[in-house]
Chains A and B, each alone.
Chain A
Amino acid sequence: MLVFVIRRVLISIPVLIASTMLTFVIVKLSGDPLTYLKTRQSTVSKAEKQAFINQEAHRLWLDRSWPTQYWHWISNILLHWNWGPPVTGHDNVASDVFTAFGITARLVLVSIAIALILAVITGVISAVKQYSLTDYTTTLLGFIFLSMPTFWFAILLKEFGLKINQWTGSHFFGTIGDRSIPITDHSFGGSLKDIIGHMILPTIVLGLVGYAAWSRFTRASMLEVLNSDYVRLARSKGLSPRTVMIRHALRTALIPLTTVTALDVAALLGGAIVTENVFQWRGMGTLFLTALRAVDFNVMLGWLLVTATIVIAFNLIADILYGVLDPRIRHA
């Protein structure tokens, strides 16, 4: 088992390296970082303007070849923990990305936890009581959630939160940001209320899609297992339905779900882009959008590096879990 894990970890390293190259090329293809200077006129002479553009290009290493730029970027991170300068401003790219990551992680983890629990419960019930009213209802709801554009739903949900605020005359639901500004109540209870009030709506939006997909998946794989020979065998041996369900069926059925969930982390980080934009959270999502619009390449590179690392880590976890849960895989 340990060998299996170590081998998987070692395999991940070249993937990460290849990933940095891929992301570098993508970022380079995404546009010219100095467009904002080139397309804007200032009241300095043409020569002065061009001189400034060249100066900026040199500062940002844009006047070097791609391999040189790549090496400069990656070696600075590895050797000096220097993630490169942003195109405009003076922020530290690494700390920007990690700060944003903290905010997004909170949103994504809570969403995953809630969505996963609900998905397994409803998925299993749907499968066990296939074609019952419960099954039809949850299936229909799941399908509707799966079929709704995220931001379309988010806008409706925001309107809903606003209505509740108006009816109750409170300011419980926040529509922008993760905290009120200025923070008026610094007590623990007040802070908690403020954080939760800002968190509920985006969590629902982000969790909904994951929930819908995972409950469908749980139902499908649960059905497959319930119809398999060995479950039938277990039943015929006279094991209690409960034992059959938990020890035999559920365990097998959840194996593919672990993979799917781990893989969906990337999708959720993507989903956070839309959710955070609607709710104006300053997490990874809005950081990426702002960076992409400005072709702020070092921020984009840093963002993609962190995302890639997370996703690779989750893939690794999926692989290992798969091995732990399904002994047949281990020997593959």
Chain B
Amino acid sequence: MLETHETLKEGTQPGGPGVDKPTLTEREFTVKERKQWQMALRRFLRHRAAVVSLVVFVLLVLFAFVLPYFWHYKYTEFVSLCTQSNGLAGPCSPSLKHPFGTDSTHDMLAVTMRGTGQSLKVAFLIAAVGTGAGALWGVVSGFFGGFVDSTLMRLADLVLTIPSLALAAALAHKGGGSLVLIGLILAGVAAPYVARVVRGVVLSLREREFIEAARALGASNTRIMFRHLLPNTIPVLLVNATLLIAQGILAETALSYVGFGIQSPDTSLGVLISTNQGAVENQPWLFYFPGVFIILIALSVNFIGDGLRDALDPRQTRERK
């Protein structure tokens, strides 16, 4: 109850999380003030799915970036093959030696680790660049309005007029399937999307009392934008950033499927399931393992985002009991 009360207090403070601390400390009587991040953490920890997802996600990161140093097959290494029922050499099914089996040349676990790592890199790139640029874009646009708003939003419209998959495919067609290029293209297409949503929020916030109050107190434009408006868009940004990580991985997968994604010798989970789509009946491990890893990443990231939203959104008062 106490925490709820506190939350309410904080949440109803004009300016939300952006408000200056000192004034607050004096006012409370018996309870020691908790820092904002502590409360957020407490709330986050109460979201069980998010916590589990965070653990899963950390494990996935370790799987992708640390485990390769300890696993005795490298993703480039040729492994010996197994004899098929028809007498020909072919992929091995999962065993102790190859927990994920093999494809026609490599250990599938090593390849999956590599693919997971590459997919994570692309996803982070898209989420970080896309959300960062989009937030800035949307806040500036929404805050200033008028000519600035028109120009920036028409620019966003411009990029948004092209389906991202088509745009990325067209640009990647000649680009040779480099990971960074594809990540940046997809981030570039995501940014205006984020910008529009953020602007929508800013537009309705702009007319609220706490902004008026801040203005009346003589706060500069920059201060209002970054101390008051931007923090209030964080919930929206988080929802979008998490969606972007998941969407990033899926967009890269779709690109690989249509043949314009990351190209061999480089790999990604998308490349793996695209090349192995025909194996679904006869060598299911080649299709399902990478697919499950894509779902695991996207799913855990989405739940983490959900947990963060619960934790960071100060206006949301209904709490998990």
Contacts and interface: CB of A to CB of B under 8 A. Distances in A.
* A–B contact (CB under 8 angstroms): yes
Please report whether the interface of chain B is mostly helix, strand, loop or mixed according to DSSP. helix
Interface residues of A, number: 68
A266 B160 contact: yes
Given A19-B161, A259-B196, A292 B260 contact: yes
A165 interface: no
Interface in B274-302: 274, 277, 280-281, 287, 291, 294-295, 297-299, 302
B250 A27 contact: no
A312 B157 contact: yes
B315 interface: yes
A97 B175 CA distance: 26
Contacts of B299: 143-144, 147
Interface of B: 145, 150, 154, 157-167, 169-171, 173-174, 193, 196-197, 200, 203-204, 207, 235, 239, 243, 246, 250, 253-254, 257-260, 270, 273-274, 277, 280-281, 287, 291, 294-295, 297-299, 302-303, 306, 309, 313, 315-318, 320
Interface in A31-60: 31
Given A147-B298, A155-B277, 15 more contacts: A11-B150, A12-B157, A15-B154, A15-B158, A15-B161, A149-B294, A150-B253, A151-B277, A216-B243, A217-B239, A270-B163, A273-B163, A274-B165, A274-B257, A307-B163
B4 to A, nearest CB: 12
Nearest to A213: B243
A224 interface: yes
Of A144, A152, A293, most buried by chain B (CB within 10 Å of CB) is A152
B154 A328 contact: no
Contacts of B160: 263, 266, 311, 315
B173 A292 contact: yes
B318 A130 contact: yes
Contacts of B281: 159
Contacts of B161: 15-16, 19, 266, 307-308, 311-312
Interface of A: 11-12, 14-16, 18-19, 22-23, 26-27, 29-31, 130-131, 139, 143-144, 146-152, 155-156, 159, 213, 216-217, 220, 223-224, 226-228, 256, 259-260, 263, 266-267, 269-271, 273-274, 277, 288-289, 292-293, 295, 300, 303-304, 307-308, 311-312, 315, 322, 326, 328-329, 332
Given A326-B204, A329-B203, A150 B250 contact: yes
29 contacts: A15-B161, A16-B161, A19-B162, A22-B162, A26-B167, A27-B170, A30-B174, A31-B173, A143-B299, A144-B295, A144-B299, A147-B246, A152-B253, A156-B280, A213-B243, A220-B239, A224-B316, A227-B316, A227-B318, A259-B197, A266-B160, A270-B166, A271-B165, A292-B169, A292-B260, A295-B173, A307-B163, A315-B160, A332-B203
3 pairs of A and B residues whose beta carbons are closest in the complex: A270-B163, A147-B298, A270-B165
A304 B295 contact: no
Contact of A266 (B150, B164, B287): B164
A125 B118 CA distance: 38
A213 B197 CA distance: 14
B145 to A, nearest CB: 6
A273 B166 contact: yes
A131 B287 CA distance: 34
A162 to B, nearest CB: 11
Given A315-B160, A326-B204, A263 B193 contact: yes
Contacts of B158: 15, 18-19, 22
